[in-house]
Structures are given as structure tokens and as C-alpha cells.
Amino acid sequence: MAEDLNHTPFPWNVETTDEYGRYFIMEAAKEQNGWVNKGYDIGDEEGERRNKVAEARDEGNRKLVQAIPDLLSVLHDCRDALREYLQSVESGKDDDAESAYQHADAILTELGNEA
């Protein structure tokens, strides 16, 4: 699904820009700044193409950021379901499930959302 969003490629470094809650995706800026006309004419067609790519990436980034609350909720649910599953496994071991659980738990802990 991420490919369908046409977002700025990961990983992202996000910086706050001011006290009003605005954020800045550094990689998006770097990508677009790399396209800045450096004293030569790129032509209208290439300029329009670059604008369309930037607009599509901005829209994909916006959709992805808007989905974060739902993604976080789903991650909580998946982590909790994996914990319950791992406690019920008859053989007592499922390396793939354990790895997924540990990864989800580490992300939630890093975000301060351990509960």
C-alpha cells in the first residue's frame, strides 16, 4: 500500500518548524531542493513534471501522516494479540510471532505508548 501513496521514500527525519505545531519532512525538502533550477533552463515541460511529482509526494505524505492515529491503534491491537497468542502456543515457541511482537513492542515503547 505504501507504494500506492507515492510518498517521500523512508526513512524520514521530521523537524518542527515553529511553536504552532507545523512539521517539516527533511527528505521531502532535500528531494525538492535537488530539483531547484541552478541557473539553467529546465523548460516548461520538465518544470511541470517536477511539480506534479512534488504534488503527488506531498499528497501521499499528507495521507500517511493522517493515518498515523489509526496505524498506532492497529499496532497496539496487533502487539496485544501477538502477546496472547504467544502465551497460548502449545510448543511454547514461535520465532516469527515473537519477532513481530518484539518489534511492535519496541516501536510502541520508543513512542511512549507501552500500555
pLDDT at 35: 65
pLDDT at 40: 58
Per-residue pLDDT tens for 12-63?
888 888 888 888 788 887 777 766 655 556 778 887 887 888 888 888 888 9
Per-residue pLDDT tens for 58-77?
888 889 989 999 999 999 99
- Contact assessment for residue 26 and residue 14, using Cβ atoms and an 8 Å cutoff: yes
Nearest Cα neighbor of 105 from 79, 78, 82 is 79
Q: Which three cell numbers stand for residue 47?
A: 518544470
- What residues does each domain of the chain span? 2-66, 69-110
Question: Rounded to two decimals, what is the model's pTM?
Answer: 0.70
- Count the neighbouring beta carbons within 10 Å of the beta carbon of residue 58: 16
d(C-alpha 100, C-alpha 108), whole Å:
12
